[in-house]
């Protein structure tokens, strides 16, 4: 492939065009329920365990950092509040984003890319079936659903990990830790995190599908596509996260 100054623009244009195609195909019947369930199960199965394992140390690190700080300030009773706030607002969407892109997105991209280079996608189009409707839409929806659920999982496991480290290892007070949960965090934080996860899931699946469906040049092409899809997704997710967080702070009044 030759480098051209318009290449990057064309790529992002095509990606956006496919995102629009996905939106347009969403209401089309028949809905591919079978594919959706299979994909949701598949994405969940490749992400649940790594997500849980990543979120334990994540919660623990936050608890450790906050724990020593609050003790020096004499504000141990607030360590629960800070820990919940950090996990719920930032850690869980970020962990979800990393895992949904790193584990779910790569799997989707590799699967579609392998199908593409084996001519399966062309064959499907020739058989009169739109791969966007048949393959991409169920994957995007599955990835969104799983991302929302994963976000819940990360929040619970992260907070539990924080509790364990704060209470058991740093000898914090269990009651104070639990009681201070809602001093800084509020319910809208959870909603905001879930909406973030929903958007992250959609972005990860659309980028992965786009990269997979445009893979070319044999098995190496699939490898390249997977690699690029992870990098692009990460960049998009972190930018989106920043924007959504900024908007959230403007829209929802904060406590404390």
Residue labelled with tokens 């949701």: 40
State the nearest-atom distance from the C-beta of 222 to another protein, in Å. 13
Q: Site for another protein (CB under 8 A): which residue of 16, 37, 49, 122?
A: 122
- Comparing CB distances to another protein, the nearer of 58 and 210 is 210
User: What are the backbone angles phi and psi of residue 2, rounded to the nearest 5°?
Assistant: -90, 150
Polymer length in residues for the chain: 256
Token representation of residue 246: 């900024």
Distance CA 156, CA 25 (A): 35
How many other CB atoms sit within 10 Å of the CB of residue 102? Answer: 18
CB 67 within 8 A of CB 170: yes
- Comparing CB distances to another protein, the nearer of 123 and 243 is 123
- Give whole-number Cα distances, 219 to 215, 222, 223, 225, in Å: 9, 5, 7, 10
Q: Which stretch binds another protein (CB under 8 A): 87-95, 112-120, 178-186, 223-231?
A: 112-120
- Comparing CB distances to another protein, the nearer of 122 and 171 is 122
State the nearest-atom distance from the C-beta of 135 to another protein, in Å. 11
- Comparing CB distances to another protein, the nearer of 123 and 246 is 123
Q: Which stretch binds another protein (CB under 8 A): 72-80, 125-133, 147-155, 197-205?
A: 125-133
Q: Which stretch binds another protein (CB under 8 A): 51-59, 123-131, 160-168, 179-187?
A: 123-131
CB 184 within 8 A of CB 256: yes
The footprint of another protein on residues 127-156 (CB under 8 A) is: 127-130, 134
Q: Site for another protein (CB under 8 A): which residue of 102, 109, 115, 209?
A: 115
Q: Which stretch binds another protein (CB under 8 A): 82-90, 118-126, 155-163, 238-246?
A: 118-126
| H or E stretch covering 148 | helix 137-163
Determine the 3-state secondary structure of 8 from DSSP.
helix
Closest CA to 231 of 208, 198, 197: 208
State the nearest-atom distance from the C-beta of 123 to another protein, in Å. 4
Distance CA 223, CA 216 (A): 10
Kindly state whether residue 195 participates in binding another protein, applying the rule CB under 8 A. no
Q: Residue 217: left if φ>0, alpha if ψ -120 to 50, beta else—which one? A: left
The footprint of another protein on residues 1-60 (CB under 8 A) is: 2
Kindly state whether residue 126 participates in binding another protein, applying the rule CB under 8 A. yes
Residue ranges in contact with another protein by CB under 8 A: 2, 114-115, 118-120, 122-130, 134
């Amino acid at each position: 492939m030759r480098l051209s100054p318009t290449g990057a623009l064309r790529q992002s244009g095509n990606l956006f065009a496919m995102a629009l195609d996905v939106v347009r195909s969403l209401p089309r019947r028949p809905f591919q329920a079978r594919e959706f369930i299979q994909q949701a199960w598949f994405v969940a199965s490749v992400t649940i365990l790594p997500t849980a394992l990543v979120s334990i140390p994540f919660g623990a690190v936050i608890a450790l950092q906050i724990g020593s700080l609050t003790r020096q300030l004499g504000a141990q009773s607030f360590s629960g509040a800070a820990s919940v706030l950090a996990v719920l607002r930032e850690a869980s969407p970020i962990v979800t984003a990393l895992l949904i892109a790193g584990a779910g997105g790569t799997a989707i991209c590799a699967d579609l890319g392998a199908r593409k280079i084996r001519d399966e996608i062309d064959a499907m189009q020739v058989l009169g079936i739109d791969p966007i409707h048949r393959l991409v839409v169920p994957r995007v929806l599955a990835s969104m659903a799983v991302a929302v659920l994963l976000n819940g999982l990360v929040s619970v496991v992260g907070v539990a990990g924080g509790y364990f480290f704060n209470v058991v290892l740093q000898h914090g007070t269990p009651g104070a830790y639990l009681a201070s949960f809602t001093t800084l965090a509020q319910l809208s934080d959870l909603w905001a995190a879930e909406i973030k996860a929903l958007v992250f899931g959609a972005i990860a699946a659309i980028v992965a599908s786009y990269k997979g469906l445009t893979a070319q040049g044999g098995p190496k092409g699939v490898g390249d596509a997977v690699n690029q899809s992870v990098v692009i997704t990460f960049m998009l997710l972190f930018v989106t996260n920043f924007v959504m967080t900024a908007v959230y702070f403007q829209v929802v009044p904060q406590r404390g």
